[in-house]
Amino acid sequence: MNQCFPKLQGVEFSRIHFTLEFSEEFSLSLESMLCMRTGLRNAGRHLARLECCIDSSGGQSPAELFEPPLPVDPVAVRLFQKPSPFFAFQPSNDLPLKISAGGLFEISATFWGKGIQQIGQFAQTLQGMGNSGFKGDRGYFELMEMESEDLSGNRFSIWSEGSHFNRLTPAVNSVNTWLEEHGHRDTSLGLRFLTPARLISQGKPLFQPSFARIFPFVLRRVTSMLYHSCYLELDIDFKQLIELAGQAREKTNRLVWEDCKAAGGRKELGGFVNEIEVEGDGLEKLSYFLDIGALMNIGKGAAYGAGCYQVVES
């Protein structure tokens, strides 16, 4: 690994694939995926009232899965973003999709640091959400299986229907090792946004994004997630990194705004999609943040799949 990168000892993640079986015909849209927060929170509250949620995460309540508490350190409160859930969905490229009764659908997510111990609680909450429907009173499903994926892409089952959630043994992957095998070190790369990235600057969405304006969001997302979920405060020069991003040259910028609203039009989900390509010698010092950010998503609703992007060779 290039020595200019900060040390990431102890930073770990688990990639989990949840297989759902739908009990009725259901049209699943990207908007439905991006709005799963409401259904999961409601299911978590219901489990808490029943006092039947497993305690696999060190005494944390189901509510803390989706709204982690603020750190006790007042300096950290000022330095880092408000903690978001310690997971991030990677939405399927097949959406929208019409699923028949008995049809299967897979949801994939990456769990970070403390979030790895929350996988059991999350799975039980997802199972509870199936009893209420994916959206409103539509799209009832059962959680059928959970698979874990290692750094080589090998998948193995860690849970199946009827089993307990409190003895899960997922693959725990080192970020250092992942970067050595999958990181980008070129002086030219692209960011391909697969789902709308809704970045808020001075209270307004960023409608005309450039690489220089996108990178600070990636940097804040990565450093905040690592601090809150992995207890790691990176010793880096934020100002220098942001200046390097400003020096990168845009080869192409095909990012466009895509309007997107939740059912009923009450919640704005729109953001920019498509691809931007940049080049510059300074990218070597930025690429590791971009690579990790691709596992976390960025912007509003990042935990639920918004702002999902890939780093691609340019």
Residue 177 has pLDDT above 80, yes or no: yes
If pLDDT is split at 50, 70 and 90, which confidence band does 210 have? very high
Q: What pLDDT score does 262 carry? A: 66
More confident residue, 136 or 200: 200
Q: What is the pLDDT of residue 273?
A: 96
Angle at 143 between CA 24 and CA 301, to 5 degrees: 90
Beta bridge partners of 279: 188, 249
Average pLDDT value for the chain: 89
Residue 1: what pLDDT?
Answer: 41
- Residue 209 to residue 214: CA distance in whole angstroms: 6
Judge whether residue 55 has pLDDT over 70. no
Half-sphere exposure of 89 (CA within 13 A, CB side): 25
Q: What is the pLDDT of residue 24?
A: 93
What is the residue-wise DSSP string for 222-269?
HHHHHHHHH-------HHHHHHHHHHPEEEEE--EEE--B-GGG-SB-
Q: Count how many residues are written for the chain.
A: 314
User: Residue 196: pLDDT band by 50, 70, 90 thresholds?
Assistant: very high
Identify the residue whose tokens are 């996108």: 214
Q: For position 3, what pLDDT does the model report?
A: 45
User: What pLDDT is stored for residue 229 in this prediction?
Assistant: 93
**Residue 266: pLDDT band by 50, 70, 90 thresholds?**
low
State mean pLDDT over 289-300. 96
CA dihedral of 254, 257, 260, 265, whole degrees rounded to 10: -170
Residue 163: how many other CB atoms lie within 10 Å: 13
Q: What value does the mean pLDDT take over residues 225-249? A: 93
Question: Does the pLDDT at position 271 exceed 90?
Answer: yes
> Rounded mean pLDDT of 163-170?
91
Q: What is the average per-residue pLDDT within 69-98? A: 86
Could you give all domains of the chain from N- to C-terminal order, each with its CATH number? Answer: 13-173 (no CATH), 175-313 (3.30.70.1900)
| Residue 6 pLDDT exceeds 70 | no
Which CA distances in Å does 257 have to 137, 163, 208?
A: 31, 44, 8
Distance CA 147, CA 189 (A): 31
% of the chain at pLDDT higher than 90: 64
Say what the pLDDT of residue 59 is: 58
Looking at residue 90, what is its pLDDT? 95
Q: What is the pTM of this model?
A: 0.93
Judged against a pLDDT cut of 70, whether residue 2 lies above it is answered with no
Least confident of 8-12, 40-44, 75-79, 177-181: 75-79
What does the alpha-carbon distance between residue 25 and residue 19 come to, in Å, rounded to a whole number?
A: 16
